[in-house]
Structure 1
Amino acid sequence: MMDQWLKQKKALWMLAIVFLLWMGSGCDAHSGKEDKGSASSQKGEASEVIRIGYQKYGTLNMLKARGDLEKRLKKLGYTVQWSLFPGGPQLLEAMNAGSLDFGHTGEAPPVFAQAAGTPLLYVATTPPNPAAEAILVPKNSPIRTIADLKGKKVALNKGSNVHYLLVQALEKAGLKLSDIQPVYLPPADARAAFEQGSVDAWVIWDPFYAAAEQGGKARVIADGQGLAANREFFFASRSFAEKHADVVNIILEELKKVDRWASNDPKGVAAFLAPELGIDEQALETAAKRRTYNIEPVTDEVVAQQQQIADQFFQLGLLPKKIDVKEAVWREGK
C-alpha cells in the first residue's frame, strides 16, 4: 500500500511540474508576441496592414493593378489590403465601420458621410471631370431633354456624385427630385435595369458610362458640364492620418506617378485595366481620354464648392444636418 501511495504522490508531483512548465512557457510566448509587436511599432509597425478601398476605374485602381505601392511600403514593413466597392457611399460606410484606412470617392459621398459622423479627412483631390458622368436614356427613347424625365423612373447610386448631377440637372430644367421616380441602385444593378427597360433613364459615371455608350444602346441627354464638377477625392480615416501622415504622403506620391503615366498614355491605361476590370478596352480608352489626371491639394476654393453641395443637399432635406466641410480637411501636422 505504501509503495502504491508513493507512486501516486510521485505521479501527482510530475503532473504539477509539467503544468508549471507549460504555464511558464505559455506566458513567455505571449509576452514575446507583445514585445515583438511593440518593437515593430517603433520600427515602422512591420506587422501593420494598410487597408485601402477602391472602385472600378480611377487612379487607385491603376495603382493597385501596377503593384508599385506594395513594393514601396513593403520596404517599410507594411502590407496593403485592397477592397473593391461598387460606389463611394459603400466605401465610406466601411470607413465609418473602422474597416478602411484610405479610399476615394466623388463629391457627394463625403458630404453624407460627414453628416453621419464618419471620421474621414479629405487629403487630396483631382481636377474637375464633368464630362465623365452623364444622364443616359435608351437609344430609341422618346425622352429628349431633362424636362422629359418628369414622372419617369431614373436609376442612380444614392448619395453619389451622380445624385448631385441629377439634382442640378432637374433644378436647371425647373424640376425637383420629387417630380421623378428615383430608383436607387448600385451600378451593376442599375445597368441591368436600364438594359431590361425597367427604368427610363440612368445617371452614371465612367467607365460604366463609356461602356453603355460603346454598346450602342444608350443616348446622352446631359453630362456634368455646366452642372457638376465631378471631382474625385482621396480620404484617410482621421485616426490613420494622425498616426501615419508619412504613409498618407507615400500613397499620394505613388498616385501622382500613376497620374503622369495615365495622362500620357490613355491607350495604355485601357489595355492595362481591361483584364483587371472586365470592361471593353475601347470603352476604357474613351473614359481615359475625357478625364484629366492629377493629384491636387484641397484648397479653400475646393472646400467652398464642397460646402455648396452640402448646403444644397441639406436644403433639399436629403442631409440630416448642416455640416462644416473644412472641419474634415487634413492639415498635416495640425
Structure 2
Amino acid sequence: MKKNNVFNKVIFTLLASFLLLGTIFVGSATPAQAAKADKDKLTINVADNGGGSILSIIKEKGWLEAEFKKYNATVTWSEFPSGPPILEAFAAKRVDFTFLGDGAALQGQAAGLKFKNIALISDGKGISKILIPTDSKIKSVKDLKGKTIAVAKGTTFHVFLLKALIKNGLKESDVKLVNLQLADGLPAFVSGKVDAWVTPEPYVTQLISAKTAKLLPGLDTTIPAPSALIARSSIIKSHPELVTAFLEVYKEAIAWRDDNLEEAAQLVADKKKYPIEIIKILNNSFNYTLTPITKEAIDAQQKTVNLLYDAKFLKKKVKYSDSIDNSFINKVLK
C-alpha cells in the first residue's frame, strides 16, 4: 500500500511538472503574444530612384534585410523612375529611406516633408547632358530659345536645364518643355517630336554611338547637382540604430561593388534586362561615394535654392543646411 502511495506521488509530481512546463511552452507562443511580436516588428520602406544604383545591389543581395532583422525590422522595396514620384510616396508615408537629386530634395524640403539628408553620394557633376539630333542646326544653349525640350520635370535634369538656360541669358519660359520621364523621352527624341532632350547615361552613349544624336555644343557639364541619401525624420528619432545600420550596409555595398565590378554590372544588367555593356557605361558615369554633406555641396544647394525660387520652381525659399544631419555618417566613417 505504501509502495502504491509512493508511486502515486511520483506520478503526480511528474504530471504536475509536465503540466507546468507545458504551460510555460504554450504560454510563450500563444496567439496573442505572437500577434504582439508581429505588431512590434517594424516595416521599413526603401525606394530605389531609377534602379541601377547601389541600392539595387543591396536589394538583390538581401543585405539590408539581413542587417535589419537584428533589430526586428523588415524591409519593403519600391522603385520609381525619378525623384518627384518618390516625394509623393514619401508624403503618403510609403518611403523611409532613399536618395534624391538636388531638384527633388529641395522640392521636398520646401513642401515641408519631414526628412533629413544623411550622407552625400555624388556631387552630380557631369551626370546631365543635353542631346540634339545629329542634323540639328542648334549650335549653342542660346539657340534653344523657342525650341521644344523633353525633360522630367522636378528632377536633377530639369534643374540642370534651368541653370544652363539662366547662365546663357534665357529663362524657362523661353523654351517649350515637354514633361517626360526618361523611358518616354527616348522615343519622343528618336522620333523627332522634340528638338532636344535632357538625359543622363546610358542614353547619351547609346544615341551618339548610333549616330542618332550629338551633344549640344558649348554646354557646361561641370554644374554641381549634389545627390544625397535621405531618411524620414520619425525614423531618425524613434529608431536611430536603423539609420546607422542603413549607412553601414550602403558603405559595405560600395566597397563590394568596387572590388567586384563585373559581377556588380551583371547583377544590375540581369535585373534591368539591359546589356551589360550599357550598365558598365552607366556605372562609369556615376562616381559612387559616401561622405558627410560637404560645405561645397551645401553652398551649391543654397545657390540652387535661390535660383529655383527666383524661377518660381520653388514656392518657398528654404535653408538647405536645416535639412542636414551628418551625425550618423560621421559615426559610420569614424
TM-score bin, normalised by smaller chain: 0.7 to 0.9
**1:83 offset after TM fit, Å?**
0.3
Q: Does 1:139 align with 2:103?
A: no
Q: Which amino acid aligns with 1:50?
A: I
Evaluate the alpha carbon distance shift between residue 173 and residue 263 of structure 1 in structure 2; reply closer, same or farther with a 3 A threshold: farther
Q: Which amino acid aligns with 2:215?
A: V
3-state SS of paired residue (2:153): coil
**1:248 offset after TM fit, Å?**
1.3
Q: Which structure 2 residues correspond to residues 1-334 of structure 1 after superposition, within 5 A?
A: 32=33, 35-36=36-37, 41=40, 47-54=41-48, 55-221=50-216, 225-226=221-222, 228-330=223-325, 332=327
**1:173 offset after TM fit, Å?**
2.3
Rounded Cα–Cα distance in structure 2 between residues aligned with 1:255 and 1:270: 17
Structure-1-length-normalised TM-score: 0.81
Rounded Cα–Cα distance in structure 2 between residues aligned with 1:267 and 1:224: 31
Deviates more, 1:260-269 or 1:90-99: 260-269
Rounded Cα–Cα distance in structure 2 between residues aligned with 1:168 and 1:331: 27
Deviates more, 1:105-114 or 1:257-266: 257-266
**1:202 offset after TM fit, Å?**
0.8
Q: Is the 8 A contact 2:201 2:281 kept in 1?
A: no
Rounded Cα–Cα distance in structure 2 between residues aligned with 1:265 and 1:141: 41
**1:151 offset after TM fit, Å?**
0.7
Q: C-alpha root-mean-square deviation of aligned residues, in Å? A: 2.3
**1:96 offset after TM fit, Å?**
1.5
**1:253 offset after TM fit, Å?**
1.3
| Percent identity of paired positions between Structure 1 and Structure 2 | 28
**1:204 offset after TM fit, Å?**
1.3
Deviates more, 1:178-187 or 1:292-301: 292-301
Q: Is the 8 A contact 2:129 2:221 kept in 1?
A: no
**1:132 offset after TM fit, Å?**
2.3
Which whole-Å deviations, capped at 9, do the CAs of 1:167-226 have from their partners, x for residues lacking one?
121122222111110111111111121122111111112344444445442222266633
Unmatched 5+ stretches in structure 1:
1-28, 42-46
Unmatched 5+ stretches in structure 2:
1-29, 329-334
